[in-house]
Amino acid sequence: MQPRSWTIIGQCLFSARPAGQSHNGIFFEMVDVLAAPQQAKADSALRTLTGISVAHWVSHFHIFVLPMLFPFLKEQLGVGYVELGFALTVFAVVSGLTQAPIGYLADHIGARKILLIGLTVGGCALIGLGLHLSYSALIVCAVLLGLANSVYHPADYAILSAHMDEARMGRAFSIHTFAGFLGGAVAPAIMAALVASIGGLGALIVAGAVGPLVALFLIVLGIPDAGANKTKDDAAPQASVITPALIVLTVFFTLLSLSTSGINNFGVVALMGGYGASFSTANIALTAFLGAGAAGVLAGGYLADWTHRHSQVAAGCFAVNAALVLLIALVNMPSALLTLAMGLAGFLGGVIAPSRDMMVRNAAPPGAAGRAFGIVSTGFNFGGIVSPLLFGWIMDQHMPHWVFGASVVFMVLTVLLALVTERKPQASEYAEATSPRA
């Protein structure tokens, strides 16, 4: 192996490239995350992180396919936005109810198999809708998309937890999360280009085909399995994965969802209706919030690897975040200052994501990462079901300032809950719970 030197670029520590090689973008980040003494192990980990991140990109891309086609679907199906919104509610309910069972399957029959099935089912759901467009087909598509969406967190995190370098786990989680952010960010532009070039039905078919193609890519890439191939301990099946720590973390994930989804979905109309912001100003501010959040995720990966106090990182970042959003709620800022405040709030919200994931990993009993992430991820779905109703009601009551005010309340509750979610690694507790009694 070639000797490595180390150099500081910006604020990030990267392994200097051997002569004749170059680093670029996210691949450059991945090489640092996966630097390991054995080159073969590093190459395997790089393939794993690449494949799982691409799959997470698909999951967020597919989430936005139907909303981006609402104008087309409304015209073709002759229905209103209430009927179209019901399809999204069906998606959220199915995804929420199936996260935990899918996590169980990931741990017992293998996370890789579950992930490949999820990619294929989600893609075929969109292809089927494109081939046979009707309202009943739309609802069936929403059910299948919700089922497919429930696969990604349990399967992805089970594989990453089993095969990434422990010292760089936070950065691996951050790249995985960033890939999901990126999938949602590019979905509007991709769908708009597809509709303009091949029409709405063609756009559904092409967007759906991405799923099976990526599943094939993962097979060719040879991503490893997790869960089913582990050595089974006779006592392990007797332990329950539904621990107090994971129950609290599920509530924590619900509060996280509620604290940001109102701003994501209603921030633009709230800024226009309550603060006199123009449409362009409000959209620029929201773009800063979302874009800085993606950058914060990558930065948070380094922070998560640097410290073991993940709950305190989450609490500290969200406390500052709450103060910023409260300032936005109370003060009518100039557009430049508003954009800056929204961007900083989004960045801090992104920073906590890897620490959030590390909290779940630390709370999971050995061999139960899939189930643990499946259980706590239902919190996101609960938030996704409640949030549109709550913040929609707030806007109907002509209280746009409370879109930000209610977000502050949920952020404060998130901070308080984060301070009680820090758990020591569960191995000793698990061993004690499953050891034969004298």
Predicted local confidence at residue 34, as pLDDT: 54
Give, as one character, the DSSP assignment of residue 398: T
Rounded Cα–Cα distance for residues 406 and 396 (Å): 15
Rounded Cα–Cα distance for residues 66 and 142 (Å): 9
DSSP 323-340: HHHHHHHH----HHHHHH
- Cα of 72 vs its chain's centroid, Å: 27
Q: Which distant-in-sequence residues (6+ apart) come within 8 Å of 311 by Cβ?
A: 355, 359, 418, 419, 420, 421, 422
Report the percent of the chain where pLDDT is more than 70: 83
Residues of the chain with pLDDT under 70: 1-42, 227-240, 421-438
- Cα of 336 vs its chain's centroid, Å: 29
Are 208 and 392 a contacting pair, CB within 8 Å?
Answer: no
Rounded Cα–Cα distance for residues 87 and 134 (Å): 12
What does the domain layout of the chain look like in residue ranges? 25-221, 239-424
- Torsion sign over Cα 356, 358, 359, 360: positive
User: Helix or strand or coil: residue 48?
Assistant: helix
Rounded Cα–Cα distance for residues 82 and 292 (Å): 32
Instruction: Give the ranges where 222-278 is alpha helix by DSSP (H).
Output: 244-275
Rounded Cα–Cα distance for residues 291 and 89 (Å): 26
Are 55 and 214 a contacting pair, CB within 8 Å?
Answer: yes
Give the CATH class of 239-424.
Answer: mainly alpha
Q: In terms of Cα–Cα distance, which of 328, 412, 385, 387 is closest to 395?
A: 387
Q: In terms of Cα–Cα distance, which of 364, 370, 317 is closest to 154?
A: 370
Are 422 and 310 a contacting pair, CB within 8 Å?
Answer: yes
Are 49 and 34 a contacting pair, CB within 8 Å?
Answer: yes
Are 45 and 34 a contacting pair, CB within 8 Å?
Answer: yes
pTM of the model: 0.72
CATH, domain range 25-221: 1.20.1250.20
What's the residue count for the chain? 438
- Strand-pair partners of 9: 12
The CB density around residue 204, as the number of other CB atoms within 10 Å, is: 28
Domain pair 25-221 / 239-424, same fold: yes
